[in-house]
């Protein structure tokens, strides 16, 4: 009886284990019980508020609400246990809640009728009896609390009747209370017996299923059995083979001694063996337990399942179970787990492990109010090595880079490979001043040292972008995005630099994203237009050509500077369709000019390196009817840095049609006389920086212009000076011998209508 009511804890009778089904349903039952009590309390309050007023009823209702809330909290702790609160403590709380709830009802049962002059006493008495009857059938996880609840309610009912002088009714109430208590105990006993019988059947089924598993499902390799002293008995041939010994040799030997190997004497067992020993000692069921064993000096992994055996009198007789050798499967699993978290080429942590480490670093920084950091590292000039020497050489170089990075890591620092030539470093605690900048500079310096790969001396640099958390991002995604933005900024500065993330970078990236979205729709919305800047003869100052300059009047952003959208178009390869439109539109407009006036069209490297560039030129000329001699294609030296042979071939095909080619911005980039020797340019354009320098008396600028003019004349090429803005600059350029002049002094970029008006005005002057 004590076990049924939970008064004692008999190890042979674990009533708590038999109430697992009740735990599963306790959340719903607790909610329903609280709701029912609340409804009854509201009913009682509605009855007595008109009789005795709010002053007495409202505090009672508040007290009932508090008790119901505490009872609900206790029940939920039983459903979802807290490791710091024992089950006995929870049962004590249940009992206290039952006492408090019952006393509250007794207070209403006795107090409300007294205050109301005996009105509605029968109503309250009936409510109390209903509560007693319903409690009899509630299978609480603490049966003792039910008995306490019913007992207090019964005493309250008897006391209420005594106060009103109803002696006969008192006897009936006493008998009703006793009957309710007895019924509660009997119902509880029946329930526990049924659960015991059910548990016994389930336990036997589990043992039988365990023993038959290897035959029915072929999941086990052998059976094993030990006596109460954990000595092996009934050793099967396959189990003896797994132990590497004869059956007679191991019969009666301790199981742990057989599988502990040389560790048996020292007692230094793996943790899994300690866990197995505890399960055997406590006579607990266990299933698919992974155990590290030593068989004849070789480390192996076994998967063991076992269940305690009992005879008909319930006495413990040992353990029986099944086992299998899963060493190879574990090795495969470990290899798969390694491959999932490490880069196979560099043996560094991969993106998955880096993001996990960064997430943990962010949580640590928030918890302890510190800072963490993420450094994104990108190799400079690696693509050129990969393309020229092959991927095998590139892979060997990456392996050396990873080794250097690893050697730089200190405590709480992890480096890994994100992919390609991108690496990342996670600093768990970056609170020390300068730690991020110092590490970034050491990375740049160390990775910039020469490498020896297959008899080649190779040089690559490193660019670093960093972000600090949680200041620069509260999530892994934000940190990686912001460190990436800082990396892009460092690369824009020319590489070999370290940049920290600044909020302005995010604003710039967002602006760039919005511009890109609008730029992709610009041609479809007819937002692009061309302006034309005149190029004049240096001596006659007559217009000899116009340079077509694309402009963008965005519906979303207004007029966007070419310096902003042209680089964006090149990065996103939108420059290809834009360039095609410019060429066709410029050729179409040039038909409205005099026959001797050319149109200069700038062609980007992306457009020039397209396989169909020659066909685009042919189609533009054919569609507009412009003679090829009137089209001059302007290119910069940067086209020869990517694929010189393709660029040269494309330009030669255009020149074969009759088009001329001008080399723009000569002297500002990677100038090489080899370009001029290999390709017959018609014009060399002197950059405006040299023109302005010469106007200011710079000897270097004057020397460069003189050299370019002399070289162009010897190669039978013309020269155009850009950026002429004053009459003094124009006179100087004439004196230096340039053939053509372009600049604001002779005309700013203008619309097509304004360009045509220049010729109309000239004709009127001649007339």
The residue among 131 and 21 whose pLDDT is bigger is 131
In tens, the pLDDT along 132-146 reads 887 776 655 567 788
Q: How far apart are CA 251 and CA 238, in angstroms?
A: 13
pLDDT at residue 437 is higher than 50: yes
Phi and psi at residue 571, in whole multiples of 5°?
-65, -35
Q: What is the pLDDT of residues 586-643, one digit of tens each?
A: 999 999 999 999 999 999 988 888 888 999 999 999 999 999 999 999 998 777 766 6
> Where is 216: in which H helix or E strand?
helix 167-216
For 299, half-sphere exposure in the C-beta direction (CA atoms, 13 angstrom radius) is 8
**CA-based nearest residue to 203, from 401, 373, 14, 336:** 14
What does the pLDDT average to over 737-765?
Answer: 85
How far apart are alpha carbons 666 and 651 in whole angstroms? 17
Q: Which residue has the tokens 């990775």?
A: 447
Confidence check: pLDDT of 180 > 60: yes
The string of DSSP codes covering 646-685 is HHHHHHHHHHHHT-EEEEEEETSSS--HHHHHHS--SEEE
The candidate with the shortest Cα–Cα distance to 745, out of 703, 675, 698, 695, is: 695
Q: Give the contacts of 367 (CB within 8 A, at least 6 positions apart).
A: none
Instruction: Determine the Cα–Cα distance for residues 609 and 649; give it in Å rounded to an integer.
Output: 10
| Alpha carbons 464 and 477: distance in angstroms, whole number | 18
> Hey, is 566 helix, strand or coil?
helix
Kindly list the distances between the CA atom of residue 729 and the CA atoms of 271, 497, 690, 723, 734, in Å, as whole numbers in the listed order: 87, 39, 11, 9, 9
What are the residue ranges of helices labelled H in 53-116?
54-79, 87-115
On whether the 521-766 domain is CATH 3.90.1150.10, my answer is no
What would the pLDDT profile of 683-721 be if each residue is shown by its tens digit? 999 888 889 888 888 888 899 899 889 988 988 899 999
102 Cβ partners below 8 Å, 6+ apart?
148, 149, 151, 152, 153, 156
pLDDT at 207: 59
Is the pLDDT confidence value at 764 over 90? no
- CATH number of the domain located at residue range(s) 342-501 in this protein: 3.30.70.270
Quick check: 414 pLDDT over 90? yes
Q: Which segments of 199-311 are extended strands (E)?
A: 222-226, 286-295, 298-310
Residues above pLDDT 70, as percent of the chain = 89
| Mean pLDDT along residues 22-32 | 68
Pairing mode, strands 528-537 and 543-554: antiparallel
How large is the greatest C-alpha to C-alpha distance in the chain, in angstroms? 138
Whole-number Å distance between alpha carbons of 121 and 531:
99
**What is the rounded distance in angstroms from the CA atom of residue 638 to the CA atom of residue 606?**
11
**Rounded (10°) angle between helices 503-519 and 476-492:** 80
Judged by DSSP in three states, 642 sits in helix
Does the pLDDT at position 224 exceed 90? no
Rounded CA separation 427/373 (Å): 5
Does the pLDDT value for residue 4 go beyond 80? no
Could you identify the residue written with the tokens 């502990």?
A: 260
Q: Say if CB 612 and CB 638 are below 8 A apart.
A: no
Highest mean pLDDT out of 80-89, 338-347, 735-744: 735-744
Please count the other Cβ atoms lying within 10 Å of the Cβ belonging to residue 547.
24
Q: Checking phi first, is residue 267 left (phi over 0); if not, alpha (psi -120 to 50) or beta? A: left
Looking at mean pLDDT, say which of 19-33, 609-623, 659-673 comes out highest: 609-623
pLDDT digits (tens, 9 = 90+) for 186-222: 877 777 777 777 766 666 666 555 555 544 444 447 8
Q: Is the model more confident about 554 or about 212?
A: 554
Contact 544, 566 (CB under 8 A): no
pLDDT computed for residue 425 by the predictor: 96
Q: Token pair for residue 379?
A: 């190799």
Quickly name the fold that domain 219-333 has.
Beta-Lactamase (3.30.450)
> Alpha-carbon distance 598 to 211, whole Å?
95
Helix (H, G, I), strand (E, B) or coil at 583: helix
Domain boundaries, given as residue ranges, for the chain: 2-197, 219-333, 342-501, 521-766
- Confidence (pTM): 0.49
Taking the C-alpha atoms of residue 233 and residue 309, their distance in angstroms, rounded to an integer, is: 13
Contact 719, 708 (CB under 8 A): yes
Residue 598's beta-bridge partner residues?
545
Distance of CA 459 to the CA centre of its chain: 34
pLDDT at position 718 is: 93
Residue 304, CA distances (Å) to 280, 288, 299, 404, 616 in order? 12, 5, 16, 45, 74
Q: Quote the CA–CA distance of 729 and 738 in Å, as a whole number.
A: 12
Please state, in angstroms and rounded to a whole number, the distance separating the CA atoms of residues 736 and 694.
Answer: 10
**Predicted local distance difference test score (pLDDT) of residue 11:** 45
CA 217 to chain centre: 40
Give CA–CA dist 156/148, Å, rounded.
12
Give 360-400 pLDDT, tens digit per residue: 999 999 999 999 999 999 999 898 888 788 889 999 999 99
pLDDT at 231 exceeding the cut of 60: yes
13: pLDDT confidence band, cut at 50, 70 and 90?
very low
Average pLDDT, the chain: 84
At 262-276, the pLDDT tens digits run: 777 777 778 888 888
Instruction: Give me the phi and psi of 612, to 5 degrees please.
Output: -100, 25
Each residue's pLDDT tens digit, 560-577: 989 889 888 888 889 999
pLDDT in tens, 465-483: 999 999 999 999 999 999 9
First-residue to last-residue Cα distance in the chain: 129
**What's residue 418's pLDDT?**
93
What pLDDT was estimated at residue 763? 59
């Amino acid at each position: 009886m004590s076990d049924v009511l939970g008064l004692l804890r008999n190890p042979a009778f674990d009533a708590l284990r038999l109430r697992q089904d009740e735990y599963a349903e306790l959340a719903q039952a607790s909610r329903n019980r609280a709701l029912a009590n609340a409804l009854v309390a509201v009913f009682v309050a509605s009855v007595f508020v008109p009789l005795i007023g709010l002053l007495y009823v409202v505090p009672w209702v508040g007290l009932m609400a508090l008790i119901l809330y505490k009872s609900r909290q206790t029940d939920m702790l039983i459903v979802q246990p807290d490791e710091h609160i024992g089950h006995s403590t929870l049962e004590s709380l249940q009992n206290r809640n039952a006492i408090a709830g019952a006393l509250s009802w007794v207070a209403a049962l006795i107090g409300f009728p007294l205050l109301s002059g005996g009105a509605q006493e029968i109503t309250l008495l009936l409510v109390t009896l209903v509560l007693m009857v319903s409690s009899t059938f509630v299978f609480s996880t603490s049966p003792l609390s039910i008995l306490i609840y019913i007992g207090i309610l019964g005493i309250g009912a008897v006391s209420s009747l005594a106060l009103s002088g109803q002696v006969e009714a008192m006897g009936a109430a006493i008998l009703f209370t006793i009957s309710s208590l007895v019924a509660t105990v009997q119902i509880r006993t029946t329930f526990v017996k049924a659960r015991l019988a059910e548990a016994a059947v389930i336990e036997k089924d589990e043992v039988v299923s365990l023993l038959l598993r290897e035959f029915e499902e072929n999941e086990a390799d052998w059976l094993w059995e030990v006596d109460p002293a954990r000595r092996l008995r009934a050793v099967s041939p396959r189990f003896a083979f797994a132990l590497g010994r004869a059956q007679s040799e191991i019969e009666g030997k301790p199981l742990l001694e057989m599988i502990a190997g040389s560790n048996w004497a020292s007692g230094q067992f793996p943790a899994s063996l300690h866990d197995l020993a505890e399960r055997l000692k406590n006579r607990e069921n266990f299933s698919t337990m992974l155990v590290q064993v030593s068989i004849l000096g070789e480390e192996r992994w076994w998967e063991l399942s076992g269940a305690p055996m009992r005879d008909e009198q319930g006495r413990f007789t040992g353990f029986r179970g099944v086992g299998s050798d899963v060493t190879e499967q574990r090795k495969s699993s470990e290899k798969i787990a390694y491959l999932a978290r490490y880069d196979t080429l560099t043996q560094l942590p991969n993106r998955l492990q880096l993001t996990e480490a960064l997430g943990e670093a962010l949580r640590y920084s928030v918890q302890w109010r510190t800072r963490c950091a993420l450094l994104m590292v990108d190799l400079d000039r690696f693509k050129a090595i990969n393309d020229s020497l092959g991927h095998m050489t590139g892979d060997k170089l990456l392996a050396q880079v990873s080794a250097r990075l690893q050697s730089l890591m200190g405590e709480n620092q992890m480096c890994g490979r994100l992919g390609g030539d991108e690496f990342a470093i996670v600093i768990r605690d970056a609170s020390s001043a300068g730690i991020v900048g110092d590490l970034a500079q050491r990375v740049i310096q160390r990775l910039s040292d020469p490498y020896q790969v297959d008899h080649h001396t190779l040089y690559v640099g490193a660019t670093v972008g960093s972000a600090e958390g949680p200041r620069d991002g509260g999530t892994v995604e934000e940190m990686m995005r912001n460190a990436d933005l800082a990396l892009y900024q460092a690369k824009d500065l020319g590489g070999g630099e370290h940049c920290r993330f600044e909020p302005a970078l995010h604003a710039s990236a967002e602006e760039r994203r919005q511009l890109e979205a609008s730029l992709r729709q610009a041609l479809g919305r007819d937002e692009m237009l061309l302006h034309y800047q005149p190029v004049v003869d240096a001596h006659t100052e007559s217009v000899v050509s116009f340079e077509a300059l694309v402009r963008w009047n965005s519906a979303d952003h207004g007029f966007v500077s070419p310096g902003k959208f042209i680089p964006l178009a090149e990065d996103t390869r939108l420059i290809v369709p834009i360039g095609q439109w410019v060429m066709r539109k410029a050729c179409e407009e040039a038909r409205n000019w005099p026959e001797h006036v050319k149109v200069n069209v700038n062609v980007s490297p992306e457009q020039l390196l397209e396989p169909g560039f020659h066909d685009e030129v042919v189609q533009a000329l054919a569609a507009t009817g412009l003679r090829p001699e009137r089209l001059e294609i302007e290119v910069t030296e940067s086209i020869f840095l990517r694929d010189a042979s393709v660029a040269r071939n494309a330009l030669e095909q255009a020149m074969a049609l009759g088009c001329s080619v001008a080399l723009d911005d000569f002297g500002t980039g990677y100038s090489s006389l080899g370009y001029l020797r290999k390709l017959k340019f018609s014009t060399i354009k002197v950059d405006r920086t040299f023109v302005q320098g010469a106007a200011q008396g710079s000897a270097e600028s004057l020397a460069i212009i003189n050299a370019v003019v002399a070289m162009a004349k010897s190669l039978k090429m013309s020269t155009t000076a850009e950026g002429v803005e004053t009459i003094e600059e124009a006179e100087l350029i004439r004196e230096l011998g340039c053939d053509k002049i372009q600049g604001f002094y002779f005309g700013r970029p203008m619309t097509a209508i304004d360009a045509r008006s220049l010729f109309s005005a000239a004709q009127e002057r001649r007339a």
